[in-house]
Amino acid sequence: MTAGAPTASWQRGKVTSWVTSTDHKRVGQLYVGTSLLFLAAGGILALLLRAQLTVHDAAFLGSGTFAKLDTVHGTTMLFLVALPLVLGLASILVPLMIGARSVAAPRALALSYWLYLLGGILLWASWFSRGGPARADFGDAASIASAAGKGEDLWLLALLLVALSFLICCGTLLLTIGGERAEGMTARRLPLYVWSAGTSAAILLVGSLVLAGAVALMLLDRNGGTHVFETAHGGGGAIAWRHAFWFFGQPAIVTLLLSTLGILAEVIPVFARRKIACYEAVRLSILAIGALGLLTWGQHLYTSDMPTWADTAFTITSLALIAPVVVILVQLAATVLGGTLTGRLETTSVTAVVAALTSLAFLALGAMTWVFLAAQPLASQTGASQFASGWFNTLVFGGGGLAVYAGLFYWWPKITGRRLDEWQGFGVVGALATGSIAAFFPQFLLGLLGMPLHAPSYGPGGVWQTLNVVSTIGAGVLGLGVAGLIANIARTALLGRRSGRDPWLGDTLEWFTESPPPEHNFDRVPVVSSSRPVHDLRERLHRPHA
Amino acid sequence: MRVARKRLTALLFASACSLVAAGTASAGNGGLAPFPPASKGASDLRHLYFYALVFAGGLCLLLVGFLGVAVLRGASGGGRIPGGRALPLVSLGLAAVVLAAVGSYSLVKLDGIKNGPKQALGVTANASSSGWAVNYPNGKTETGTLHVPVGRPVRILLASSDVAYTWWVPALGGAVDALPGRANSTWIEATKPGTYGSFDRRSPVQVVALSQPDFDAWYAQGGKK
């Protein structure tokens, strides 16, 4: 924005320069760093929950305590880790990939980060509130409205702040993609990651609006004497809350899925040394997934009393959403097939490649198990059980987590100017992959056996016990993987190998500038004439007479 | 050397998957099958599940297989992309066929499985913090237990007095929520006598299915808990 304005001396300190920064790259790094911290915190909660569930009829955590841990874990993982992580990555990468000097509204972006951080602090501060943190199930309006103590209010406030944060961040991203593109970058030359980031920003913005409204009304119900979600006089309050919550929740899940696919659509073609098999097919599929993401929230309300016509409509749209996902997965696999993974190994990040390919496998499984949760009446048997947990975690952690991991390895040199350690990185991929299989696949089976979602304990021993033990071991391995990633980041922050502008021989504009980029991103931006501008430049340099 | 490392990873991944597969097969009910059904609705659901498993599982195997072939080819120099420009349409078509097959059959069975027969013995079940309070048409009440006759459909009207509760007896059907202020319903037509429980810890319920004469005898004893 005002890149040339002189900064006051107090703003140039090591800490204050980060706190007062309106540089989208720094704000994005704040997002990513904070989300990793919350990942560690939420992960510890997950390990505690798994410890309780390892043995049947365990009394390690009472059902009340379990409910509190479960709520804080779930809220943290979705609102404070996954979504901010992808939004933070997008904040850093989108302007660089479209050749912009900054985001359209840098101060708004910075504000969105501080709102997110404040929301996260409020949520975790609720551990110290009277009565402890919120313990009600996300979809239970009556329980939320009537819960005693301040924990529920803090939870709602946290959600409100984070929803506002998402609103502002998504709006900024959309304005940036709309108005800050380099010359020659038409819609069909936008990188696929930018298409996915833009589409997710659009649907997350719509969803966040509804969530913010519903949460504000619930806060008023609890503290202001209103009765919006109450059902004492025959109103539809309880189900209205569910609709509002999941109207946000489904676009949130789809945002994570789209970000995953977008990252893979950048990493895989570069390391396969060819263009994506069919750009237009992936672009249209991204748009289709986004549009359907706004039309499928009802798949989380199948156990509520929806009329049969609604069940039918949501079954159709939810199943339809899986088709474009399959198209993109096939396109990515085809790109690998038609490419050369092992050419130019000195400019290949083996970790990123293996992580990306493993992510594809998890995504395939996540997409196919989605069928059982999308179609009524199948979903009545799976949706209220651990099967839903297995699906969500396979898709978002197995698929999404590994893709984000690949993206971190791929873009880390650009953002920080240093490379992450490949050997350690490779080990972490192994831990994340095997940990995900061990932790989440048993949940599919447990769900089919009848174990409910959010169960604080369970009666049957035998097979249930064995599967839960396996799942706990898997969670432990995942924890080691995450710890390994954080250790890698910490170690290479000061001692990592320095990287040049274009360590991977990439295709898109971010590889044109220095690593790390200057505050104004680009000194010069080349005119874009295809969807692979840096690849084109390299070709022209090496074959000037072509 | 790096190719060997990638192949090793793929091998490890495959072995992990086969271990998991072996593990699932050894899990009590054959692994990938839902809870053994004891009612007409649950039976129908189970058939529907296996039908969907064939289609979705088939497509999943195709996808993962294609990915495996792609990785092996890509790691050794790459080749021609099968289908070329038609591949997106082919994959879309294949996915559409699979999803339509699952969806159409599911929707055809939806009304029957979700709503059940029109004629049924009507029972109400009100959930509260002290459990499910079941009321029968002849005035009988009990808490936490529901008696049903084998071979006759029973419709259960679910209600809640304070917060949301879930009614889910896996052996007898899908899950249904009781939301305060709203009426929801489910139905059971038991196919064999026995006691079937829910695994919910907050408001568990037990359904006791009795043969027709046993149920008539039990039902006639009015006012008993």
Give me the interface pTM, i.e. the ipTM. Answer: 0.91
Q: What is the mean pLDDT of residues A344-373?
A: 93
Question: Which residues of chain B have a CB within 8 Å of the CB of A338?
Answer: 74, 78-81
User: What average pLDDT does the segment A264-277 reach?
Assistant: 95
pTM: 0.93
In one-letter notation, the amino acid at residue B171 is A
Q: Is B224 exposed, middle or buried (0-12, 13-18, 19+ CB in 10 A)?
A: exposed
Give the gap in angstroms from C-alpha B11 to the nearest C-alpha of chain A.
12
Q: How far is A121 from chain B (nearest CA, A)?
A: 28
The string of DSSP letters for A439-476 reads HHHHHHHHHHHTPBTT-S-----HHHHHHHHHHHHHHH
Name the amino acid, one letter, at A112.
Answer: S
| Terminal-residue alpha carbon distance, chain A | 40
**Mean pLDDT lowest for which of A472-481, B31-40, B116-125?**
B31-40
Contact A380 B176 (CB under 8 A): yes
Among A183-192, A291-300, A342-351, B184-193, the range scoring the smallest mean pLDDT is: A342-351
When mean pLDDT is compared across A251-260, B1-10, B50-59, B151-160, the lowest value belongs to B1-10
Residue B8: pLDDT band with limits 50, 70, 90: low
SS (H, E, C) A346-400: HHCCHHHHHHHHHHHHHHHHHHHHHHHHHCCCHHHHHCCEHHHHHHHHHHHHHHH
pLDDT at A3 (0 to 100): 47
pLDDT at A16: 85
AA letter at B97: V
Name the minimum distance, in Å, from the CA of B222 to any CA of chain A.
Answer: 32
Average the pLDDT over A72-87 and give the result: 96
pLDDT at B30 over 90: no
The reply to whether residue B6 touches residue A331, judged by beta carbons under 8 angstroms, is: no
Q: What separation, in Å, do the N-terminal and C-terminal C-alpha atoms of chain B show?
A: 74
Closest CB to A319 among B5, B99, B176:
B99
Residue B221, min C-alpha distance to chain A (Å) = 32
Interface test with B, best of A61, A328, A360, A368 (most B CBs within 10 A): A368
Distance between B223 CA and the closest CA of chain A, angstroms: 30
* Token representation of residue B222: 């009015």
Query: Which of A364, A376, A457 comes nearest B63 by C-beta?
Result: A364
pLDDT in tens, A506-521: 999 999 999 899 999 9
What's chain B's average pLDDT? 87
Q: Hey, are the CB atoms on A312 and B74 less than 8 Å from each other?
A: no
> In this structure, what is the dihedral angle of CA atoms A295, A213, A196, A138, given to the nearest 10 degrees?
-70
Task: Mark yes or no for CB contact A63/B202 under 8 Å.
Answer: yes
Confidence category of residue A504, pLDDT binned at 50, 70, 90: very high
Specify the range with the lowest mean pLDDT, choosing from A1-10, A298-307, A378-387, A407-416: A1-10
Partner residue opposite B64 with nearest CB, options A335, A340, A361: A361
- The band of A233, judged by pLDDT with boundaries at 50, 70 and 90, is low
Taking an 8 Å cut-off on Cβ atoms, the answer to whether B74 and A137 are in contact is: no
Burial code of A110-128, b = ≥16 C-beta within 10 A, e = fewer? bbbbebbbbbbebbbebee
B209 CA to chain A: closest CA distance, Å?
19
Give contacts of A378 with chain B, Cβ < 8 Å.
Answer: 45, 48-49, 52, 106
Q: Pick from B11, B49, B60 the residue to mutate for testing the A interface (most A CBs within 10 Å).
A: B60
With vertex at residue A349, the alpha carbon angle to CA A343 and CA A355, rounded to the nearest 5 degrees, is 110
Tokens of B15: 């072995």
Q: What is the pLDDT of residues A520-541, one digit of tens each?
A: 999 999 999 999 999 999 998 8
pLDDT tens figures, A406-416: 999 999 999 99
> Span A317-321, mean pLDDT?
97
pLDDT grade, residue B7 (50/70/90)?
Answer: low
Please tell me which residue, A146 or B12, carries the higher pLDDT value.
A146
C-alpha A160/C-alpha A208 separation (Å) is 9
Q: For residue A1, what pLDDT is reported?
A: 40
Q: Do residues A373 and A420 touch, judged by C-beta distance below 8 A?
A: no
CA distance A432 to A485: 10
CB contact under 8 A, A336 and B60: no
Cβ within 8 Å, pair A311-B114: yes
Q: What is the pLDDT of residue B24?
A: 53
Q: Which of B49, B57, B91 sits opposite A381 (nearest CB)?
A: B49
Task: Please tell me which of the candidates B80, B95, B170 has its beta carbon nearest to residue A338.
Answer: B80
Interface test with B, best of A309, A394, A448, A458 (most B CBs within 10 A): A448
- Enter the tokens of residue A65: 């305590």
Contacts of B100 in chain A (CB under 8 A): 319
Residues of A in contact with B162 (CB under 8 A): 142, 146
The band of B47, judged by pLDDT with boundaries at 50, 70 and 90, is: very high
